Amino acid sequence: MKKPSASKGLIEDLVAASRILADQQVLDAYGHVSARSDKRADRFIMSRSLAPALVTAKDLMELDVDSEPLPGDKRKGFIERYIHGEIYRARPEVMAVVHSHSPSVIPFGVTRSKLRPVYHMGSFLWSGTPVFDIRREREDNDLLVRDRPLGLALAKSLGKCTCVLMRGHGMTVVGDGVPEAVFRAIYTEMNARLQLQATQLEGPIEFLSDAEGRGSTAANRGTIERPWELWKKRALGRK
Ligand SMILES: [Zn+2]
């Protein structure tokens, strides 16, 4: 199998990301992470259809601008790879995407309650958390983003935000690199859990202001290597 056109460092980061997200229980047997190729901006790299905890470098596939495998690669890709491809097409600055079925996020996709940043680790959510309702796109659906038109509709719902919730399904987050997308997937789940806890207490909930959200998002970018190294060691160390 031809090696994906991406640097060795990016391949290593992607394998680590799959293991980390499984280790942190953001992904179980479902969900996936991808990265835009650092050698060809019109392509992206993600695993073949496989549980994230089992992903190795050999399982990574290169997908073209339409989310299809390169000629000759007969391996089975994820059904929902169109989520990734259409976001890369719509958002040139996005370098990595995580799609998960993060449990604490689900209630916010099926109610009127908005997921909003309750603490600095979730500050990137200040940009808004639109809800993608697949039924509005296709009445007869199986909840999966299984083709390009659905991927395009999801990317439209995401707009310029960092996170889009998917009604009755999960969420998708984007980042400027693999560590940032992983960070956001982990802290979207935590923020959702904390917001649900806060609703049990005397309200109203004091959310981060937009200015705080913007400032804290920039500050977190400066320290992302610290959790990334820790998560990587935990996830890869025990294999
Ligand atoms: Zn899914």
Residue 234 has pLDDT above 90, yes or no: no
pLDDT, one tens digit per residue, over 49-59 is 999 999 999 99
Angle at 135 between CA 143 and CA 199, to 5 degrees: 80
H or E element: which one contains 36? strand 32-36
Residue 163 has pLDDT above 90, yes or no: yes
Count the Cβ atoms, other than its own, within 10 Å of residue 61: 21
Return the percent helix, strand and coil in the chain, to nearest 5: 45, 15, 40
Task: Round to whole Å and give the CA distance between 203 and 225.
Answer: 35
Count the Cβ atoms, other than its own, within 10 Å of residue 148: 15
Task: Round to whole Å and give the CA distance between 197 and 183.
Answer: 21
Q: Is the pTM of this model over 0.75?
A: yes
The per-residue pLDDT of the chain, averaged, comes to 95
Distance from residue 238's CA to the centre of ligand 1 (Å): 27
Distance from residue 153's CA to the centre of ligand 1 (Å): 15
The pLDDT, as a whole number, for residue 4 is 84
Provide DSSP, 207-229. PPPHHHHHHHHHHHHTTTHHHHH
Give the pLDDT band of residue 18 (cuts 50, 70, 90). very high
For tokens 């169109």, the residue is 82
The pLDDT, as a whole number, for residue 157 is 98
Share of the chain above pLDDT 70, in %: 98
Q: Among residues 12, 62, 68, 80, which one is catalytic? A: 80
pLDDT, one tens digit per residue, over 86-115 is 999 999 999 999 999 999 999 999 999 999
The pLDDT, as a whole number, for residue 239 is 46
Distance from residue 202's CA to the centre of ligand 1 (Å): 34
The pLDDT, as a whole number, for residue 238 is 54
Residue 172 has pLDDT above 90, yes or no: yes
Distance from residue 102's CA to the centre of ligand 1 (Å): 10
Please state the separation of Cα 193 from the chain's center in Å.
17
80 is catalytic: yes
Count the Cβ atoms, other than its own, within 10 Å of residue 152: 18
Distance from residue 203's CA to the centre of ligand 1 (Å): 33
pLDDT, one tens digit per residue, over 56-72 is 999 999 999 999 999 99
